[in-house]
Amino acid sequence: MPLTFAAADATAVPLHAVCPQTLAGWLDGRPAADRGWIEAQGFRAEPGEVALLSDPAGGIAAAVLGCGSPAARARRRFALAAAATKLPARTYRLTLDPDGAALSAEEVAEAALGWLLSGYAFRRYRAAPERAVARLQAPAGIDAARLEAIAAAEALTRDLINTPANDLGPAELQAATELLAEEFGATVTAVVGEELLSANLPLIHTVGAGSARRPRLVDLRWGEAGPRLTLVGKGVVFDTGGLNLKPGNSMALMKKDMGGAATALGLARMIMAAGWPVRLRLLLPVAENAVSGTAFRPGDILKSRKGLTVEINNTDAEGRLILADALALADAEAPDALISFATLTGAARVALGPDLAPVFTDDDALAAALADAGARVRDPVWRMPFWAPYESLIEPGIADLDNAPAGGMGGAITAALFLRRFVSEAGRFAHLDIYGWQPKDAPARPRGGVGQGARAAFEALPQVLGLP
Ligand code: BES
Ligand code: MN
Ligand code: ZN
């Protein structure tokens, strides 16, 4: 089922968006039978609530969609999109009630994107019958092509996260990058296995050394001119924790530990589809954090690409290691903006929950742009501090850096501080510590993999980069 808007169709069912405060007035303008029927169903215009109106022949004359109050809409992202899965399989044409100023253009776009994303399902392992679905015509005033490109990118991100590690190893993640590159005329190179050592990417090599599936750095480039934008994504295809093995409960979801890579790939797809005048680079350090005789150990002291030495105090703090080498490589060409996405710490979840992604940056304007944009497009991110007084926590004494400070206090911050050590000009750097997973079904987001921060960045970056 393509995540696209329905073609314009004269027979489309009108879908009237009605808000609680305008419901009575709207009903007054309807025939008595409609009014009675809507009232009989107890319709209160809650966000995403629907009711149907029949025509004399027993068909569907129109449908009504509740907008809810602004406060109710603020509580639930994509609330209006809940209609997409409740309505009978027809094509609908959204009409705002005359007082529909209650819905901003941004909220209409949110509803439209949510409707598209409601069509997403992960079907790789279960031939679910192609059910007919309610489709929406592109509402007036929205950029339909942009929303369709965003939906396609998000579907790519979700598919990659949802694919289990037996079918998505390092080679398959590279192949997915190559497929995307082919579609948009980008180029991909990869440094694989032992080549990582001669290419001076030792931490990626070390983290992947315990797996039979070779680690790699995947490097996509697209665009000839314009500002340099580099995206980095953590691509741990499965995180057992290594020798510091995770308990079963904590390991259960760790197929999603490449969620940063999947999200960065989704963002790259949005940017290429939109044809931004930038020099885009996507760097994915990819490895499987496995247990074996060749796995790295607690106490090992490793030398990074940048020359900084790292004492391993926990093999489960592997993400920051592979990112360290990728960030040092990215930093060498001084991009105008460097954004990393990573399912980096459990501490980020403890701090902000699964739905709100911490963003760390020293650039106040970038932080504000990401937070504002995230709020507008309902892809929320929240600034957290690179708290310099905690720098001492990541200094073990025996080496330059400690990958896992004992006690874990401020764990999302110390992980971010660790990453910052590998970037020379921290001002242009932003790091998002994402969860990448929707814990239970919600409008537009079925339980499973989900992108976080990509839509916020897609909205914020043109201004940040000064694009025309
Ligand atoms: N991939 C995990 C972080 C994670 C766990 C993200 C659960 C989302 C949900 C990461 O590699 C990890 O294991 N981090 C450790 C670091 C610690 C050992 C310093 C953590 O957060 O417990
Ligand atoms: Mn880990
Ligand atoms: Zn991990």
Pairing of β 13-18 and β 228-233: unpaired
Between CA 405 and CA 13 the distance in angstroms is: 59
Residue 4 in any domain: the answer is no
Ligand 1 atom at shortest distance from the alpha carbon of 346: 21
Please classify residue 382 by burial: count the beta carbons closer than 10 Å to its beta carbon, then call 0-12 exposed, 13-18 middle and 19+ buried.
middle
The answer to whether residues 295 and 176 belong to one domain is yes
pLDDT of residue 294: 98
Closest ligand to Cα 345: 1
The answer to whether residues 118 and 196 belong to one domain is no
Between CA 119 and CA 134 the distance in angstroms is: 9
The answer to whether residues 131 and 154 belong to one domain is no
Any atom of ligand 1 within 6 Å of the Cβ of 240: no
**pLDDT(130) > 80:** no
End-of-domain residue from the set 82, 113, 142: 142
Q: Which amino acid is at 179?
A: L
Q: What range defines the domain where residue 111 resides?
A: 13-142
The answer to whether residues 87 and 119 belong to one domain is yes
Residue with token string 């330059």: 400
Between CA 344 and CA 256 the distance in angstroms is: 11
In the chain, the percentage of residues whose pLDDT exceeds 70 is 99
Residue 19 in any domain: the answer is yes
DSSP assignment letter at 442 = B
Q: What is the pLDDT of residues 113-125, one digit of tens each?
A: 999 999 999 999 9
Any atom of ligand 1 within 6 Å of the Cβ of 239: yes
**Residue closest by Cα to atom 5 of ligand 1:** 346
Closest ligand to Cα 412: 1
**Nearest of 117, 18, 133 to residue 378 by alpha carbon:** 117
Between CA 318 and CA 332 the distance in angstroms is: 22
End-of-domain residue from the set 115, 142, 169: 142
- Pocket probe for ligand 1: among 249, 345, 350, 390, the residue whose CB has the most ligand atoms within 8 Å is 345
- CATH number of the domain at 36, please: 3.40.220.10
For residue 295, the CA-to-ligand 3 centroid distance in Å is 15
Between CA 292 and CA 297 the distance in angstroms is: 10
Residue 133 in any domain: the answer is yes
The answer to whether residues 440 and 406 belong to one domain is yes
Residue 99's pLDDT band, with cuts at 50, 70 and 90, is low
Average pLDDT value for residue range 401-415: 97
Q: What share of the chain is helix, strand, coil (3-state, %, to 5)?
A: 40, 20, 40
Average pLDDT value for residue range 156-168: 98
Q: What is the pLDDT of residues 204-255, one digit of tens each?
A: 999 999 999 999 999 999 999 999 999 999 999 999 999 999 999 999 999 9
The answer to whether residues 338 and 211 belong to one domain is yes
Q: Max alpha carbon distance in the chain (Å)?
A: 82
Does the pTM exceed 0.85?
yes
Q: What is the pLDDT of residues 325-339, one digit of tens each?
A: 999 999 999 999 999
**Nearest of 382, 339, 377, 381 to residue 455 by alpha carbon:** 377
Concatenating the DSSP letter of every residue in 256-273 gives GGGHHHHHHHHHHHHHHH
The answer to whether residues 64 and 193 belong to one domain is no
Within 13 Å, how many C-alpha atoms sit on residue 31's CB side?
8
CB 330 within 8 A of CB 230: yes
- CATH number of the domain at 366, please: 3.40.630.10
- 256 counts as catalytic: no
The answer to whether residues 175 and 263 belong to one domain is yes
DSSP assignment letter at 164 = -
Residue 37 in any domain: the answer is yes
Residue 337 in any domain: the answer is yes
Closest ligand to Cα 346: 1
For residue 418, the CA-to-ligand 3 centroid distance in Å is 15
Between CA 224 and CA 222 the distance in angstroms is: 7
- 320 counts as catalytic: yes
The answer to whether residues 304 and 375 belong to one domain is yes
Residue 3 in any domain: the answer is no
Annotated catalytic residue, options 320, 420, 445, 455: 320
Residue 6 in any domain: the answer is no
The answer to whether residues 226 and 341 belong to one domain is yes
Average pLDDT value for residue range 282-311: 98
Between CA 135 and CA 87 the distance in angstroms is: 9
- Give the count of domains, the chain: 2
Residue 190 in any domain: the answer is yes
- Pocket probe for ligand 1: among 249, 250, 288, 316, the residue whose CB has the most ligand atoms within 8 Å is 316
**pLDDT(421) > 80:** yes
Between CA 449 and CA 454 the distance in angstroms is: 14
End-of-domain residue from the set 83, 117, 142: 142
Pairing of β 228-233 and β 279-289: parallel
Average pLDDT value for residue range 34-40: 94
Residue with token string 């009630």: 97
The answer to whether residues 154 and 137 belong to one domain is no
The answer to whether residues 129 and 167 belong to one domain is no
CB 467 within 8 A of CB 226: yes
Annotated catalytic residue, options 76, 221, 246, 383: 246
For residue 239, the CA-to-ligand 3 centroid distance in Å is 5
pLDDT of residue 189: 98
